[in-house]
Each structure stands twice: as structure tokens, then as C-alpha cells.
Amino acid sequence: MDTKKKTVFAIFILGTAMNVFAASGETAKKPPVEGTQGYRDEINRPPEPYKGPPRTGKQVYTYRCAACHDRTTQGAPMPGDDIEWGMRANKGMDVLMGHVINGYKQGLMPVRGGCLNCSDAELKGAVAYMLRESNVQVPK
């Protein structure tokens, strides 16, 4: 057998042996590490459950929504903008809540408005707050 064939054969045998070893579950176990493992762990960590009384729409707005809606970040309408909020209100509260709960525009509106520990009722209160502040009738 020539050198090239021997090398290919040796790589094949080595790869097969490694697969058998890995499948046997005898790989080295890493000890658990306390605390965070970095950014990836932090973004995947579930939020702390909210244990206080139900928050008002204004409280939820101040807690999470204002970060974007006080600055019109990426097209987020500010409370008081009757034209933008009027157009959104015409779509109905079900559509607005669908955007809040599921996210919208590829993450520009984050899932649950960025408030992962807010109830649906609290999120709806925040939307109603922004509509009221814009003098727009809250749709049914």
C-alpha cells in the first residue's frame, strides 16, 4: 500500500475509534461552574418572576417601553403622536397585542415588548396607556 493510502486508512481508523469512544459516554466530564458563563448564558436565562402587585400601564411603560418609545427608536411611536398611534389603533387591539406579545419587524419590537416577566394584562395596559397619552381611542 502506498503512503497516501496508508494515511487515509489511518485517519479512517482513528475517526472510527473516536466515534466509538464518544458514543460510549466515556468522554471527560467538566465540573459544573458556578455563576454566569458569559453573555450567551445571560440572554438565555429566564427572567426573574415578578412577585409584586399588578403593574399599571404607566408603570410597565416606564419600566420597559420608554426605552424605545420615548426616543422613537427604529420607528417606535412616542406617546402623544396621535397620527402614528391612530394608524396603529385602526388595526385593532388584537393586532397591536400580537405585535407586542410575539415581537414585530424582525426584533425591532422585542417579544413581550422586552418585558418577559409582564403579564398579558400588564402589556395591554401599557399599550392602552400609550394610546390614551396620544388622545387615541382605545380599540376594543
CA angle, 54 then 49 then 119, to 5°:
45
What is residue 47's predicted lDDT score, i.e. its pLDDT? 78
Q: How far is C-alpha 80 from the geometric centre of its chain's CA atoms?
A: 27
Across the strands, what pairs with 104? Answer: 109
What is residue 33's predicted lDDT score, i.e. its pLDDT? 60
Mean per-residue pLDDT for 69-88?
91
Structural contact between residues 125 and 57, judged by C-beta atoms closer than 8 angstroms: yes
**Is residue 37 very low, low, confident or very high in pLDDT (cuts 50, 70, 90)?**
low
pTM for the full predicted model: 0.67
Domain boundaries, the chain: 55-133
Looking at domain 55-133, which of 1.10.760.10, 1.10.10.60, 3.90.79.10, 1.20.810.10 is its CATH number? 1.10.760.10
Task: Give the pLDDT confidence of 101-140 residue by residue, as tens digits.
Answer: 999 988 889 999 999 999 999 999 999 999 999 999 877 6
Q: How far is C-alpha 125 from the geometric centre of its chain's CA atoms?
A: 20
DSSP state of 110: -
